[in-house]
Amino acid sequence: MCGIVGYVGSQSALEVVMAGLKRLEYRGYDSAGVAVLADGGMAAAKRAGKLVNLEKELVDRPLPTGSTGIGHTRWATHGAPNDANAHPHLDNAGRVAVVHNGIIENFAMLRDELQERGHELSSETDTEVVAHLLAEAFSSCADLAEAMRLVCRRLEGAFTLVAVHADEPDVVVGARRNSPLVVGVGEGEAFLASDVAAFIAHTRSAVELGQDQVVELRRDGVTVTGFDGRPAEVRSYNVDWDAAAAEKGGYDYFMLKEIAEQPRAVADTLLGRIDANGSLTLDEVRISASELREMDKVVIVACGTAFHAGMIAKYAIEHWTRIPCEVELASEFRYRDPILDAQTLVIAISQSGETMDTLMALRHAREQGSNVLAICNTNGSTIPRESDAVLYTHAGPEVAVASTKAFLTQLVACYLVALYLGQVRGTKWGDEIRAVIRDLSQIGGAVERVLETMEPVRELARSLADKNTVLFLGRHVGYPVALEGALKLKELAYMHAEGFAAGELKHGPIALIDEDLPVVVVVPSPRGRSVLHDKIVSNIQEIRARGARTIVIAEEGDEAVVPYADHLVRIPVTPTLLQPLVATVPLQVFACELATARGNEVDQPRNLAKSVTVE
Ligand code: F6R
């Protein structure tokens, strides 16, 4: 997830674009760059690191003044966050500049083609191929919008592209497929951006772009066509957010925005990882198939929410690959002298890639000769850099301290790793893998449906604002979900919350059950592991018999729970192992709403930091 800005008008493009990038920096901040059309040519600057590095560069080496320009703040997917990989990317003649958000899945094939035709590519990004393809297409049609349409028809994946060409100095062209791009229309000027925050200071008049559309911006207006060249209807709307709300996409908190982004984040994490035959191709996992076949144990290390993802991964890894899997809190791991060797695959899960406890655990594992695979959301951060291999989650930057979309994408990445191990070790047949991938690709839609039905959960949360304690119960993969629900509530609502394996209830925690105590129960599917389902229904009856208030999260069509649920939250039917992807979402919404009702600061809860870089 990157931030993109484009401008054509009569103001200084550099000033407009830089101000827009500032408002979009929350979308990515590992490098930034701009390109301006001036004096019949193209001038560009880019720098690794935060926007401030680019600002310094522009002071040291100012660009000429022009009134057409584009800019980008990057959240890296392909290639390390360095100067060379920063956007914009230019063609060899330096006449085209392009910025990009998303992933071009077939870029390797396109790059090979370009190199055969003599193009020299200087970065590791998927974006650079687009600059070269655009230059080629423009040389035959001399029309940047047409060149963009031609190129987009060749691209696979999800992308937003914005480009300028020195031969068309008054035009900015954008394209969109499954990735955000909005148009702003002012008096004698027009804007393109990943979200309206970038141009709200200039205009509130916006145009919505549909999927697979190309937009051509000129001072006197915008033209929208499909990738096929057919004119598209231009739908205008008025933005009524202020600048601060716009940055959060109109949500009150980043956390709410990030919860809402989960369907997209889940889909993005699957992108580019499945080939045309439905087999998994985890290119970034640089541990060879033969090494993976040698592994006799998997150890997962992580902290907090990432640890809960690891707990769920254990069920999938052991079930699909039959390799024993341990999950350990990273902060405990190295102090107990764990048994590790070259046949141990250590998986370190971290959103930030900077958590010191996890970093120390992986260093210890590597010292013992184990291979470490990082599952991480932050390209170029320390944990993937120090690991033998990495699988990036594509959640986009997570700004709210409480992890939401990163958790769901960590789960997707864990399922992919488990399936990949099953694939290379031959413990899963190709058609079985394809079936799970099909299920995973439908999860985004299922999460969307959960999000659409959350009003009763919010209402319930508000009604519990004066409670002191909430308990969470689950079994099987629902147990880590219960722990995650409790963690969210602790960190956001500052309430006493505990998660239990429901079977443990009668071994002690049942003594906590009191009149009217809210108890959230995550119910496994009645299909599949029906024994577990029946047992948890008994657990619900036990707590209800002691006067507790039961909040039951159960799949659609599960009628057995209805008589025992004071509040019933329905989730879509999913395969048993994938249920956490939908069951966690109501718990995130619940915690966020309860925190709001208690007047707490949702995005930055007290005493916490987003990345914990001390042990
Ligand atoms: C909880 C939360 C934390 C993090 C933990 C690990 O909502 O965000 O528990 O999950 O600090 O952080 P990362 O994943 O960055 O290593």
In this model, does residue 105 exceed pLDDT 80?
A: yes
Looking from the CA of residue 383, the nearest atom of ligand 1 is: 16
In this model, does residue 245 exceed pLDDT 70?
A: no
Which of 371, 406, 441 is the C-terminal boundary of a domain?
441
Catalytically active residues, by annotation: 2, 610
- Give every CB contact of residue 284 below 8 A, 6+ residues apart in sequence: 389, 390, 391, 392
d(CA 288, CA 389): 10
Residue 117 forms part of a structural domain: yes
278 and 334 in one domain?
yes
Residue 446 forms part of a structural domain: no
Residue 556 forms part of a structural domain: yes
Q: What percent of the chain has pLDDT over 90?
A: 75
258 and 219 in one domain?
no
In this model, does residue 1 exceed pLDDT 70?
A: no
- Average pLDDT estimate for 24-28: 80
188 and 68 in one domain?
yes
- Give every CB contact of residue 485 below 8 A, 6+ residues apart in sequence: 472, 497, 499, 520, 522, 584, 587, 590, 591
Question: pLDDT (tens digit, 9 = 90+) per residue, 183-204?
Answer: 999 999 999 998 888 998 999 9
d(CA 404, CA 393): 13
Omega cis (within 30) before 88: yes
In this model, does residue 382 exceed pLDDT 90?
A: no
Here the CATH number for the domain that contains residue 68 is 3.60.20.10
- 95 by DSSP, 3-state: which? coil
509 and 466 in one domain?
yes
288 and 148 in one domain?
no
What pLDDT is attached to residue 75? 80
Evaluate: CB of 377 within 6 angstroms of ligand 1.
Answer: no
Of the residues 403, 491, 611, 612, which should be mutated to test ligand 1's pocket, given the most ligand atoms within 8 Å of the CB?
403
> Nearest residue CA, atom 3 of ligand 1?
304
| Number of CB atoms found within 10 A of residue 22's CB | 19
Evaluate: CB of 604 within 6 angstroms of ligand 1.
Answer: no
467 and 408 in one domain?
no
258 and 242 in one domain?
no
How does residue 467 score in pLDDT terms, banded at 50, 70 and 90? Answer: very high
- Average pLDDT estimate for 373-382: 85
- Average pLDDT estimate for 88-100: 96
Evaluate: CB of 592 within 6 angstroms of ligand 1.
Answer: no
348 and 312 in one domain?
yes
Residue 107 forms part of a structural domain: yes
What pLDDT is attached to residue 474? 97
460 and 433 in one domain?
no
Residue 614 forms part of a structural domain: no
Evaluate: CB of 304 within 6 angstroms of ligand 1.
Answer: yes
Paired strand residues for 300: 327, 347
Residue 179 forms part of a structural domain: yes
Residue 612 forms part of a structural domain: no
Residue 609 forms part of a structural domain: no
d(CA 440, CA 418): 13
CA of 302 to the centre of ligand 1 (A): 8
How does residue 354 score in pLDDT terms, banded at 50, 70 and 90? Answer: confident
Q: What share of the chain is helix, strand, coil (3-state, %, to 5)?
A: 40, 25, 35
Evaluate: CB of 125 within 6 angstroms of ligand 1.
Answer: no
How does residue 150 score in pLDDT terms, banded at 50, 70 and 90? Answer: very high
Instruction: State the chain's mean pLDDT as an integer.
Output: 92
Question: pLDDT (tens digit, 9 = 90+) per residue, 275-314?
Answer: 877 778 887 777 888 999 999 999 999 999 999 999 999 9
Q: What's the chain's Rg over C-alpha atoms?
A: 25
- Average pLDDT estimate for 396-414: 93
Evaluate: CB of 555 within 6 angstroms of ligand 1.
Answer: no
Which of 441, 465, 498 is the C-terminal boundary of a domain?
441
In this model, does residue 613 exceed pLDDT 70?
A: no
- Average pLDDT estimate for 119-131: 93
> Nearest residue CA, atom 5 of ligand 1?
304
The DSSP code for 560 is T
Which candidate, 490, 454, 499, 482, places its Cα nearest to that of 259? 454
The reported pTM is 0.82
Domain that holds residue 516: 452-597
d(CA 448, CA 263): 6
194 and 302 in one domain?
no
> Nearest residue CA, atom 16 of ligand 1?
350
CA of 303 to the centre of ligand 1 (A): 6
On whether the CB atoms of residues 69 and 37 are closer than 8 A, the answer is yes
270 and 235 in one domain?
no
Which of 374, 408, 441 is the C-terminal boundary of a domain?
441
In this model, does residue 243 exceed pLDDT 80?
A: no
What pLDDT is attached to residue 578? 97
- Average pLDDT estimate for 343-348: 97
- Give every CB contact of residue 438 below 8 A, 6+ residues apart in sequence: none
How does residue 272 score in pLDDT terms, banded at 50, 70 and 90? Answer: confident
172-177 and 157-165 beta bridge pairing = antiparallel
> How many domains in the chain?
3
In this model, does residue 26 exceed pLDDT 80?
A: no
- Average pLDDT estimate for 510-519: 92
Does residue 499 or residue 283 have the better pLDDT? 499
Here the CATH number for the domain that contains residue 396 is 3.40.50.10490
What pLDDT is attached to residue 158? 82
216 and 114 in one domain?
yes
CA of 572 to the centre of ligand 1 (A): 27
On whether the CB atoms of residues 460 and 567 are closer than 8 A, the answer is yes
